[in-house]
Structure 1
Amino acid sequence: MKTLRLLITSAGRRAGLVQCFRADAAALGIELEVIACDLEPELSAACHLADRRFAVPPVTSADYVDAVLEICRTYEVGLVVPTIDPELLPLSLARGRFEQIGASVAVSSPELVEIARDKLETARFLARHDIPSPATAAAEDVRDNPDAWDWPLIVKARSGSASRGLRLVNEPSDLPDLTTSEPLVAQQRLTGTEYTVNVYFDGDGRLRTSVPHERIRVRAGEVEKGVTRRLPQLQDLAERIAAALPGPRGALCFQAIVDDNGDASVFEINARFGGGYPLAHRAGAAFGRWLMEERLQLPSSANDDWRNGVTMLRYDAAVFIDS
C-alpha cells in the first residue's frame, strides 16, 4: 500500500477539507497521514481532526515559510495544501525549496496568485482577456469622478476575503473615508443569481473540470446552502479563464453572477480551495484524489463527470476535546 503524508496549512475551520482528503485516500487505497498547522492549533477544529498538529508563526511573518518547511522536512511530507489567501504568494515563491525536500505544494504560479489576491488586478486581467466582468476601479478614482458611474456601487477591500468590508454605496457621499481605510475597490453592482465555480488544473496546467454551484445562502462570505448546476455559460467562462491564467495548478475557484437573460459576469478569482469545495467533492469532483494521484505518480482519474443537482445544507458542528 502506498503512503502519503499531507500537510494542510492554516487549517482553521477546514474540517470538511480534511474529511474530503481522507475519503479520497480511502477510495484510492492509500495510507494517508494528515498533518495540519495553524497559528493556534489547539483552537482549530481541523487541526484536532488531523493525525498531527503544529503551531506556526503568522503567515505574514518572515519565519512562516521556514516553519512550514521544517515540518515537511521532519515528517517527510509529500503534499502541501494551502487554504488561505495571504499564504499563497510566499508558498508559491518557495515552491522550489519544498520540491528539494520532496514536498509538492499545490499552489499556482506567483503571477497568478498576485492577480487573484488583488481585486483590481483581477478586474484588469478579466478586461484584458475580454472575459465579462463588472466595471471596477480604485475607490479614490470613483470618488474623484463620480459622474462616470451608475450608482449604487459595491465597495470592498482590494485584497479582502470572506466578504470583509463589503458594503453597498448608494451615492458618492456614502463612500467611506478613504484616508483611514485600507485600499478599497468600487465595482458595478450586478444583479442575478450568484455562483461559485470550482476548477481543477493538473500539473501541466490543463483544466480538467469546472463545477458551478449556486450560492443559495451565504454566511461570512462562505456558501451555507448551495446546489451544483451544470450551466454551459459558466463552464465556457471556465475554459476562457483557464486559457488566460498564467501557471494555474490544483484547486481554484471563481465567482460569477448570471443575470435574468442568462448572461454571466465574473467578479472574483481565488487561487485556492474554495470554502464551498466539499459540495463539489460530494458531487464527484475529487480534487484531493487527483492531487494525491499526481504526487504518487499514479494514473490520473481526473474527469468532468460530476453530478448535477447535488445540494449542500450546512449546519454548525463541534469538535470536543476532553482535557
Structure 2
Amino acid sequence: MRAEDAPIVIGSAGRRLYLIDWFRTALETLGLNGRIIIAENDPTSAAASYGDEMRLLPPYTDPSYADELLRLVDEFEPKLFLSANDYELMHLHVDTNIATGLRERGIFVPGVSPAWQKGCADKLRMARMLEEIDVNTPTTVTGNELDRLLDLTGSSGEFVVKHRFGSRSSGLAVVTANRLEEAVISSARSVRRRADGADALDEVIVQPRVPGSEYGVDIVASLVDGGGLTGVFARRKLRMRAGETDKAVTVAPEPFTEAAVKIARAAELSGLIDMDIFLDDVGMASVIDINPRFGGGYPFVHLAGADVPRYYLSQIFGLTIDSTWRDYEYGVVAAKYQETRVTARGQQSDDSTRSAVEVA
C-alpha cells in the first residue's frame, strides 16, 4: 500500500503527543506507510509540528472553519478524522452536518449519534438519557433546584457542584449541604455562558456525591457496525490534576460491562468514548460523565497492553488482526509527567512580558 493511500487526520491534539506516537506505531505495525496530518488552530501548540504534516484550521467558531476543513480533506483525502476537543466535536456532530458530510465521502469519523453528542455536552441531559436506558447515575438537578434535590436525597453527606456544559471539571466543588447554595453561586460566576443561556444558575448542576472509588472506563465499538461493543478498558483513579487523571492503576473491566453495552447500543457508538464511573462497595456502578473521544485516561490502559489505534486502522483499511489489541494487564500503575519541546523559532518577543530571574 502506497503512502498516499493511508493518510489520517488528528485534530486539536494539543498536548496529546502520545496519541500521535501510538497511531504512528500502529501504522508501522500494520505495514502501512501512512501519514499523520495534524490540524490545529495554533501553529505553536505542542502537537502542531509533531505529525508528518500540519495544516492550520481556524477555530471551530470561525465562519470559515468548514470551508478550510473541506479544503484539507480535498488535499489529503484522509481515511480517518478524529478530534480530541469536546467543543469542536459538538460543532462537527451537532451544530453542523460536517461529520455526516465527511462520512458520506468515505471518511471514518468516530463518535456517537447527534442526540448523544448533545447529552455528553449537557450533563443534565446526559443524566436523563442514562436513566432512560436503565444505567445508574446520580440524581442531577440545576442550581435553581436545590430544594427539590434536598427533598429527594436529604441534607446529609456531600454534594458535587460543576458546570452543566463544562469540560475538565470546570466549576467543580464538593461541599456539604450548609455550603451548597454558596458553592452553586460561586460556580455560576465562572460558567462559560452560551448564547441561549438565560440564567447562570441553570448552567450549573448539582448531584449527591456518589459513594465508592472513581474509575475511568473506555468503551470501544466497531467503526463499521455502529453500537457493536468490541472492547472495555478500566483503571482506578489514584490522583487527579487539572481535571484529568494523573495517576491510575489498571483493573478488570467486568463491573462496567453491563453499562458499557447499554450505552454503546443507545449511543450508536463507533470508536472509543471515555467514561467516569463510581463503583461502590457492593459493586454498583454509577456513570457520572461521558467524553465521546480519546480521553486523558486512555494512556493508562494503552501502556498496559491495549491498542485502540491499531484496532482503528485495521477496521479502516480492512485488515484482519487478532483480539490482542484489547488485551491489557491488570494492576499496572502509571503516572503522567511533563515534557517540553520547541514548537517555533524566530518569533518576536514582547520585552514587557519577560520576567528576569536574578541569582544572588
Distance 2:79 2:253 in 1: 36
- Residue type of the partner of 2:269? P
The answer to whether the 8 A contact 2:250-2:330 is kept is yes
Residue range with higher mean Cα deviation, 11-20 or 68-77? 68-77
Residue range with higher mean Cα deviation, 246-255 or 62-71? 62-71
Partner of 2:51: 50
Alpha carbons of structure 1 residues 145 and 248: separation in structure 2 relative to 1, 3 Å: closer
**What percent of counterpart residues are identical?**
31
Tell which structure's C-alpha radius of gyration is larger: 2
Alpha carbons of structure 1 residues 142 and 71: separation in structure 2 relative to 1, 3 Å: same
Paired residues, number: 321
Secondary structure of 2:25's partner? helix
When the two structures are superposed, what TM-score results if normalisation uses the length of structure 1? 0.91
Contiguous gaps of at least 5 residues in structure 1: none
- Residue type of the partner of 2:165? S
- Residue type of the partner of 1:94? I
Partner of 1:71: 72
Contiguous gaps of at least 5 residues in structure 2: 189-198, 346-360
Shift of 1:78: 1.8
Partner of 2:207: 187
When the two structures are superposed, what TM-score results if normalisation uses the length of structure 2? 0.83
- Residue type of the partner of 2:127? A
Shift of 1:256: 0.6
Among 137, 143, 149, the alignment partner of 1:139 is 143
The answer to whether the 8 A contact 1:143-1:175 is kept is no
Partner of 2:289: 268
The answer to whether the 8 A contact 1:112-1:248 is kept is no
Distance 2:344 2:262 in 1: 50
Partner of 1:21: 23
For residues 220-299 of structure 1, what are the structure 2 equivalents within 5 Å? Answer: 220-243=242-265, 245-299=266-320
Shift of 1:204: 0.5
- Root mean square deviation of aligned Cα: 2.1
Is the aligned partner of 1:110 residue 2:114? yes
- Residue type of the partner of 1:160? G
Q: Deviations over 1:214-246 (max 9, x none)?
A: 111111111111121004212232223223x23
Alpha carbons of structure 1 residues 235 and 148: separation in structure 2 relative to 1, 3 Å: closer
Shift of 1:139: 1.6
- Residue type of the partner of 2:10? I
Distance 1:211 1:287 in 2: 10
The answer to whether the 8 A contact 2:8-2:80 is kept is yes
Secondary structure of 2:309's partner? helix
- Residue type of the partner of 2:143? A
Alpha carbons of structure 1 residues 239 and 143: separation in structure 2 relative to 1, 3 Å: same
Q: Deviations over 1:19-69 (max 9, x none)?
A: 111111121111121111222121x11222111122222223333233222
- Residue type of the partner of 1:212? A
Is the aligned partner of 1:168 residue 2:168? no
Alpha carbons of structure 1 residues 52 and 264: separation in structure 2 relative to 1, 3 Å: same
- Residue type of the partner of 2:78? V
Shift of 1:157: 0.8
Among 158, 180, 183, the alignment partner of 2:164 is 158
Distance 2:20 2:282 in 1: 39
Partner of 2:42: 40
- Residue type of the partner of 1:134? P
Secondary structure of 2:184's partner? coil
- Residue type of the partner of 2:135? I
The answer to whether the 8 A contact 1:294-1:300 is kept is no
Secondary structure of 2:144's partner? helix
Shift of 1:270: 1.2
Distance 2:236 2:85 in 1: 22
Secondary structure of 1:31's partner? coil
Partner of 2:81: 80
Secondary structure of 1:155's partner? strand
Shift of 1:154: 0.6
Distance 2:245 2:298 in 1: 10
